[in-house]
Amino acid sequence: MSPVPRLVLFDIDGTLLHSHGVGRRAMEVALRSVFGSTGPTHYRYDGKTDRQIVRELMHGEGHDDESIDERMPVVLEAYLDALGRELSSPDARVEPMVGAVALLDALVAQAHCVVGLLTGNIEPGARRKLEAAGFAFDRFRVGAFGSDHELRDELPAIARHRARGRLGAEFRGEDLVIIGDTPSDITCGRPTGARAIAVATGHYTVSQLAAHRPAAVFADLSDTDALLRVIAHA
Protein backbone atom coordinates (compact mmCIF):
# COMPACT_ATOMS: atom_id res chain seq x y z
CA MET A 1 0.00 0.00 0.00
CA SER A 2 1.28 3.48 -0.88
CA PRO A 3 2.01 5.83 2.04
CA VAL A 4 -0.71 8.35 2.83
CA PRO A 5 0.21 11.81 1.49
CA ARG A 6 1.13 14.30 4.19
CA LEU A 7 1.35 18.09 4.23
CA VAL A 8 3.68 18.70 7.18
CA LEU A 9 3.52 22.29 8.43
CA PHE A 10 6.08 23.65 10.87
CA ASP A 11 5.82 26.55 13.25
CA ILE A 12 9.03 28.60 13.35
CA ASP A 13 9.78 30.31 16.69
CA GLY A 14 10.29 27.81 19.46
CA THR A 15 9.86 24.88 17.06
CA LEU A 16 12.37 25.07 14.21
CA LEU A 17 14.59 27.69 15.77
CA HIS A 18 15.44 29.66 18.88
CA SER A 19 15.90 33.34 18.13
CA HIS A 20 16.72 34.50 21.67
CA GLY A 21 14.13 37.27 21.58
CA VAL A 22 15.09 39.06 18.35
CA GLY A 23 11.48 39.19 17.16
CA ARG A 24 10.16 40.64 20.40
CA ARG A 25 12.90 43.26 20.54
CA ALA A 26 12.23 44.26 16.94
CA MET A 27 8.48 44.49 17.56
CA GLU A 28 9.01 46.65 20.63
CA VAL A 29 11.18 49.04 18.62
CA ALA A 30 8.46 49.25 15.96
CA LEU A 31 5.61 49.78 18.41
CA ARG A 32 7.54 52.44 20.28
CA SER A 33 8.34 54.31 17.06
CA VAL A 34 4.76 54.26 15.74
CA PHE A 35 2.53 54.21 18.85
CA GLY A 36 4.92 55.57 21.47
CA SER A 37 4.67 52.50 23.72
CA THR A 38 5.26 48.75 23.68
CA GLY A 39 2.15 47.64 25.56
CA PRO A 40 1.85 45.52 28.71
CA THR A 41 5.18 43.95 29.68
CA HIS A 42 3.59 40.64 30.77
CA TYR A 43 2.09 39.96 27.32
CA ARG A 44 3.16 36.65 25.72
CA TYR A 45 4.02 36.60 22.03
CA ASP A 46 4.20 32.82 21.55
CA GLY A 47 1.39 31.25 19.55
CA LYS A 48 0.23 34.63 18.18
CA THR A 49 0.43 36.15 14.71
CA ASP A 50 2.42 39.36 14.27
CA ARG A 51 -0.69 41.35 13.46
CA GLN A 52 -2.53 39.86 16.44
CA ILE A 53 0.39 40.86 18.67
CA VAL A 54 0.19 44.47 17.48
CA ARG A 55 -3.58 44.61 17.92
CA GLU A 56 -3.72 43.04 21.37
CA LEU A 57 -0.81 45.07 22.73
CA MET A 58 -2.23 48.33 21.46
CA HIS A 59 -5.71 47.47 22.71
CA GLY A 60 -3.99 47.25 26.08
CA GLU A 61 -2.78 50.81 25.60
CA GLY A 62 -6.29 52.08 24.79
CA HIS A 63 -6.09 52.28 20.99
CA ASP A 64 -9.18 51.29 19.02
CA ASP A 65 -9.26 49.00 15.98
CA GLU A 66 -9.55 51.86 13.51
CA SER A 67 -6.37 53.48 14.81
CA ILE A 68 -4.55 50.15 14.89
CA ASP A 69 -5.64 49.19 11.36
CA GLU A 70 -4.56 52.56 10.01
CA ARG A 71 -1.06 52.18 11.43
CA MET A 72 -0.63 48.42 11.04
CA PRO A 73 1.30 48.58 7.71
CA VAL A 74 3.68 51.18 9.16
CA VAL A 75 4.29 49.11 12.29
CA LEU A 76 5.03 45.96 10.30
CA GLU A 77 7.43 47.81 8.00
CA ALA A 78 9.19 49.28 11.02
CA TYR A 79 9.28 45.80 12.55
CA LEU A 80 11.01 44.35 9.47
CA ASP A 81 13.56 47.17 9.51
CA ALA A 82 14.28 46.57 13.19
CA LEU A 83 14.40 42.79 12.66
CA GLY A 84 16.99 43.25 9.94
CA ARG A 85 19.14 45.31 12.29
CA GLU A 86 18.73 42.76 15.09
CA LEU A 87 19.72 39.87 12.84
CA SER A 88 22.75 41.69 11.41
CA SER A 89 24.11 42.48 14.86
CA PRO A 90 27.34 40.64 15.78
CA ASP A 91 25.58 39.56 18.99
CA ALA A 92 22.58 38.00 17.20
CA ARG A 93 21.94 34.35 18.08
CA VAL A 94 19.43 32.49 15.93
CA GLU A 95 19.92 28.75 16.15
CA PRO A 96 18.12 25.68 14.78
CA MET A 97 16.45 23.56 17.41
CA VAL A 98 17.98 20.18 18.20
CA GLY A 99 16.88 17.66 15.58
CA ALA A 100 15.18 20.19 13.30
CA VAL A 101 17.63 19.89 10.40
CA ALA A 102 17.67 16.07 10.48
CA LEU A 103 13.87 15.88 10.57
CA LEU A 104 13.53 18.27 7.65
CA ASP A 105 16.11 16.32 5.65
CA ALA A 106 14.22 13.08 6.30
CA LEU A 107 10.84 14.55 5.35
CA VAL A 108 12.09 16.23 2.18
CA ALA A 109 13.46 12.85 1.06
CA GLN A 110 10.01 11.25 1.28
CA ALA A 111 8.03 11.60 -1.92
CA HIS A 112 4.65 11.43 -0.19
CA CYS A 113 5.46 14.38 2.13
CA VAL A 114 5.21 18.07 1.30
CA VAL A 115 7.02 20.21 3.87
CA GLY A 116 5.71 23.68 4.60
CA LEU A 117 5.30 26.40 7.19
CA LEU A 118 2.44 27.50 9.38
CA THR A 119 3.57 30.51 11.37
CA GLY A 120 2.36 33.72 12.93
CA ASN A 121 5.33 35.53 11.41
CA ILE A 122 4.63 37.75 8.44
CA GLU A 123 6.27 36.15 5.43
CA PRO A 124 9.33 38.45 5.07
CA GLY A 125 10.06 38.08 8.78
CA ALA A 126 9.74 34.30 8.55
CA ARG A 127 12.23 34.22 5.69
CA ARG A 128 14.77 36.37 7.56
CA LYS A 129 14.61 34.32 10.75
CA LEU A 130 14.88 30.99 8.92
CA GLU A 131 17.82 32.11 6.81
CA ALA A 132 19.57 33.50 9.89
CA ALA A 133 19.28 30.02 11.43
CA GLY A 134 20.69 28.38 8.30
CA PHE A 135 17.43 27.11 6.76
CA ALA A 136 16.91 27.68 3.04
CA PHE A 137 13.48 29.26 2.67
CA ASP A 138 12.76 27.36 -0.53
CA ARG A 139 12.97 24.04 1.32
CA PHE A 140 9.42 24.83 2.46
CA ARG A 141 7.25 24.31 -0.57
CA VAL A 142 4.13 26.01 0.78
CA GLY A 143 3.37 28.26 3.69
CA ALA A 144 0.71 30.14 5.56
CA PHE A 145 1.85 33.23 7.43
CA GLY A 146 0.69 35.93 9.79
CA SER A 147 0.59 38.23 6.76
CA ASP A 148 -2.13 36.00 5.27
CA HIS A 149 -4.53 36.25 8.19
CA GLU A 150 -4.52 37.68 11.69
CA LEU A 151 -6.12 34.55 13.17
CA ARG A 152 -3.98 31.43 13.38
CA ASP A 153 -7.03 29.16 13.02
CA GLU A 154 -7.43 30.41 9.43
CA LEU A 155 -3.89 29.44 8.38
CA PRO A 156 -4.25 25.64 7.88
CA ALA A 157 -6.93 26.14 5.22
CA ILE A 158 -4.72 28.73 3.50
CA ALA A 159 -1.79 26.29 3.44
CA ARG A 160 -4.01 23.57 1.99
CA HIS A 161 -5.30 25.93 -0.70
CA ARG A 162 -1.75 26.97 -1.60
CA ALA A 163 -0.65 23.35 -1.92
CA ARG A 164 -3.45 22.82 -4.42
CA GLY A 165 -2.72 25.99 -6.38
CA ARG A 166 1.08 25.84 -6.45
CA LEU A 167 1.72 22.11 -6.50
CA GLY A 168 -1.50 20.66 -7.87
CA ALA A 169 -1.61 18.52 -4.71
CA GLU A 170 -4.92 17.69 -3.05
CA PHE A 171 -4.75 17.14 0.69
CA ARG A 172 -7.68 16.23 2.88
CA GLY A 173 -7.82 18.02 6.21
CA GLU A 174 -6.68 14.88 8.01
CA ASP A 175 -3.61 14.73 5.74
CA LEU A 176 -2.25 17.88 7.38
CA VAL A 177 0.19 17.52 10.27
CA ILE A 178 1.05 20.68 12.19
CA ILE A 179 4.20 20.68 14.34
CA GLY A 180 4.54 23.39 16.97
CA ASP A 181 5.38 24.32 20.53
CA THR A 182 2.22 26.06 21.78
CA PRO A 183 -1.42 25.16 22.45
CA SER A 184 -2.36 27.39 19.50
CA ASP A 185 -0.36 25.13 17.18
CA ILE A 186 -2.33 22.17 18.49
CA THR A 187 -5.79 23.69 18.23
CA CYS A 188 -5.54 25.79 15.07
CA GLY A 189 -5.93 22.82 12.72
CA ARG A 190 -9.01 21.30 14.32
CA PRO A 191 -11.54 23.14 12.14
CA THR A 192 -9.95 21.51 9.07
CA GLY A 193 -9.37 18.10 10.66
CA ALA A 194 -5.58 18.52 10.79
CA ARG A 195 -3.51 16.56 13.35
CA ALA A 196 -0.94 18.19 15.59
CA ILE A 197 2.39 17.09 17.00
CA ALA A 198 3.53 19.21 19.94
CA VAL A 199 7.14 19.75 20.98
CA ALA A 200 8.10 21.15 24.38
CA THR A 201 10.89 23.30 22.99
CA GLY A 202 9.25 26.62 23.80
CA HIS A 203 7.60 27.89 26.99
CA TYR A 204 5.21 24.97 27.55
CA THR A 205 6.03 21.65 29.20
CA VAL A 206 5.15 18.21 27.85
CA SER A 207 2.28 17.88 30.33
CA GLN A 208 0.91 21.35 29.56
CA LEU A 209 0.88 20.57 25.84
CA ALA A 210 -0.58 17.08 26.37
CA ALA A 211 -3.57 18.66 28.11
CA HIS A 212 -4.63 20.08 24.72
CA ARG A 213 -4.79 16.57 23.19
CA PRO A 214 -2.35 16.62 20.27
CA ALA A 215 -1.70 13.40 18.35
CA ALA A 216 1.65 13.18 20.15
CA VAL A 217 3.99 15.22 22.32
CA PHE A 218 7.78 15.14 22.20
CA ALA A 219 10.33 16.83 24.40
CA ASP A 220 12.14 18.01 21.25
CA LEU A 221 12.73 17.05 17.60
CA SER A 222 15.71 14.79 18.21
CA ASP A 223 14.02 11.40 17.67
CA THR A 224 13.66 11.54 13.89
CA ASP A 225 12.43 7.95 13.46
CA ALA A 226 9.72 8.29 16.11
CA LEU A 227 8.55 11.59 14.64
CA LEU A 228 8.38 10.08 11.16
CA ARG A 229 6.24 7.22 12.46
CA VAL A 230 3.81 9.59 14.13
CA ILE A 231 3.64 11.82 11.05
CA ALA A 232 2.85 8.78 8.90
CA HIS A 233 0.14 7.45 11.21
CA ALA A 234 -1.24 10.53 12.98
- Rounded to two decimals, what is the model's pTM? 0.96
- Find out whether 115 and 153 touch, Cβ atoms under 8 Å: no
CA-to-CA distance for 217 and 199, rounded, in angstroms?
6
- So where are the chain's domains? 6-19+94-233, 22-88
Fold for the domain defined by 6-19+94-233: Rossmann fold (3.40.50)
Domains 6-19+94-233 and 22-88 share a fold: no
CA-to-CA distance for 230 and 195, rounded, in angstroms?
10
β-pair type (95-96, 176-180):
unpaired
| Per-residue pLDDT in tens (0 to 9) along the chain, 234 residues | 567 899 999 999 999 999 999 999 999 999 999 999 999 989 999 999 999 999 999 999 999 999 999 999 999 999 999 999 999 998 889 999 999 999 999 999 998 999 999 999 999 999 999 999 999 999 999 999 999 999 999 999 999 999 999 999 899 999 999 999 999 999 999 999 999 999 999 999 999 999 999 999 999 999 999 999 999 987
CATH of segment(s) 22-88: 1.10.150.240
Residue 6 has, within 13 A of its CA and on its CB side, a CA count of 25
Cα–Cα distances in angstroms (integers) from residue 226 to residues 99, 101, 167, 232, 234, in the given order: 12, 15, 28, 10, 12
